[in-house]
């Protein structure tokens, strides 16, 4: 079986540390202008069954920086929209002699399935509500850049944890690195049975943020309201919005994160999103380095 990066959950601590080391290496090399390209240029298929800007562009930039080429596939304008099965789509790409696949799909576990059919290197760019590993690696890189460490911290993940792949990947990664992970939000947006997830649920924002070094906001999908998982946006805002006032519950030097896209004025207010404690822009940049490390990893380059 070829290598894949489909879930942080399946990585051991040394593997996580290796990926972060490599991402950091790329960050330094690119920032100092000493980056060198991969000896062997690869052809990577970016297979996005679900819309995305930052993730897709992030992977393209990462691949380009490593000297690889990308081909984009999306559901629109391809056979996937013509009723072709998932398996046939992946088998076709395999026979088009692509060297690797980056896949985004709305179904949990689809990256594993893609790897089974593709039989070559695969990176999960988000599978439903399951995982989004390169986002978590980029987030850890961002935390370590600002906090000078990414261990022994308290991280509060605020909002719609139940439906968030970003939350799941971050939870596994940050807990493996020795941080305390908290899930903060209303019961309807918390995992219904969190026993197997290494995080603790707080339904109250104040106690959830108390002593937090990192406050990670999640995007609140509008459809959660239609599903009756919220009373009203206004009430959610009042109870769980991260803003200048509620950020006071956290440590004085706590940083604020958001994987994007943001709903300004709902889960986070404007001044906080753009404020000095926000690292939201750095997250985007660091995710590129994480994606470089991920591509290297599945192509078995960069050591280990």
Partner 1 sequence: MKTILKNGRILDPSQNMDIIGSVVIEDDCIVEVGAIVDGTGAEEIYDCTGMWITPGLVDPHAHLREPGEDHKESIITGTKAAAAGGFTTICCMPNTSPRLDRPQLIDFILDRAASAEAGGIFVAPVGALTRDGYPNQISDLAALKKAGIVAASDEGDPIQDSRLMTQAMEFCRQLDIPIMAHCEDRSLTMGGVMNDGPTSSLLGLKGMPRSAEEIMVMRNCLLALHTGCSVHILRVSTWGAIEMIRQAKYLGAPVTCEVCPQYLIFTDEDVAEFDPRFKTTPPFRTQIDIDILNQALADGTVDCLASDHSPHAAYEVLVPFEEAPFGMPGLETMLGATLTHLTHKGIISPLDTVRKLSTAPAQILRLDAGSLKPGETPVAQVTVIDPDCEWTFDARHAATKAKLSPFDGMKFKGKAMLTFCGGEVYYDGHFGADRYETFD
Minimal distance in Å, beta carbon 27 to partner 1?
29
Burial of 108 (0-12, 13-18, 19+ CB in 10 A): middle
Q: Which of 24, 52, 109, 277 binds partner 1 (CB under 8 A)?
A: 109
225 binds partner 1 (CB under 8 A): no
165 binds partner 1 (CB under 8 A): yes
162 binds partner 1 (CB under 8 A): yes
Q: Which of 12, 195, 223, 253 binds partner 1 (CB under 8 A)?
A: 195
Q: Which of 32, 36, 192, 232 binds partner 1 (CB under 8 A)?
A: 192
193 binds partner 1 (CB under 8 A): yes
Element (H, E) at 10: none
What phi, psi does 215 have (nearest 5°)? -115, 115
198 binds partner 1 (CB under 8 A): no
For 127-186, give the secondary structure using H, E and C: ECCCECHHHHHHHHHHHHHHHCCCCCCEEEEECCCCCCHHHHHHHHHHHHCCCEEEEECC
Element (H, E) at 67: none
Cα-based distances in Å from 70 to 16, 80, 105, 178, 197? 25, 19, 18, 36, 35
Number of residues that bind partner 1 (CB under 8 A): 27
Distance, CA of 238 to CA of 266 (rounded, Å): 9
Minimal distance in Å, beta carbon 139 to partner 1?
18
For the beta carbon of residue 116, count every other beta carbon within 10 angstroms: 13
The owner of tokens 């996580």 is 16
Minimal distance in Å, beta carbon 144 to partner 1?
26
Minimal distance in Å, beta carbon 168 to partner 1?
6
- Interacting span for partner 1 (CB under 8 A) from 74-82, 99-107, 268-276, 280-288: 99-107
Closer CB to partner 1, residue 37 or residue 87? 87
93 binds partner 1 (CB under 8 A): no
104 binds partner 1 (CB under 8 A): no
Distance of CA 297 to the CA centre of its chain: 17
Site residues (vs partner 1, CB under 8 A): 9, 85-87, 105-110, 112-113, 128-131, 162-163, 165, 168, 191-197
């Amino acid at each position: 079986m070829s290598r894949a990066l489909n879930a942080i959950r399946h990585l051991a601590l040394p593997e996580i540390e290796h990926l972060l080391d490599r991402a950091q290496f790329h960050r330094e090399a690119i920032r100092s202008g000493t980056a060198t390209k991969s000896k062997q240029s690869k052809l990577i298929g970016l297979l996005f069954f679900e819309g995305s800007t930052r993730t897709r562009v992030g992977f393209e930039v990462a691949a380009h920086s490593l000297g690889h080429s990308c081909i984009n596939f999306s559901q629109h304008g391809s056979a996937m929209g013509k009723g072709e099965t998932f398996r046939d789509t992946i088998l076709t790409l395999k026979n088009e002699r692509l060297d690797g696949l980056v896949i985004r799909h709305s179904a949990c576990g689809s990256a594993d399935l893609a790897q089974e059919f593709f039989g070559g290197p695969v990176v999960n760019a988000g599978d439903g509500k399951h995982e989004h590993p390169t986002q978590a690696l980029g987030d850890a890189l961002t935390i370590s850049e600002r906090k000078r460490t990414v261990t022994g911290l308290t991280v509060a993940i605020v909002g719609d944890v139940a439906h968030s792949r970003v939350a799941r990947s971050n939870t596994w990664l940050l807990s493996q690195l020795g941080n305390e992970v908290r899930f903060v939000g209303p019961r309807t947006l918390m995992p219904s049975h969190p026993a197997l997830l290494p995080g603790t649920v707080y339904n109250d924002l104040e106690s959830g943020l108390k002593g937090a070094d990192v406050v990670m906001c999640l995007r609140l999908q509008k459809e959660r309201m239609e599903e009756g998982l919220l009373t009203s946006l206004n009430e959610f805002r009042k109870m769980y919005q991260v803003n200048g006032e509620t950020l006071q519950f956290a440590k004085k030097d706590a940083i604020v994160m958001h994987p994007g896209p943001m709903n300004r004025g709902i889960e986070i207010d404007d001044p906080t999103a753009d404020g000095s404690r926000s690292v939201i822009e750095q997250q985007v940049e660091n995710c590129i380095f994480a994606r470089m490390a991920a591509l290297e990893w599945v192509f078995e380059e960069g050591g280990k």
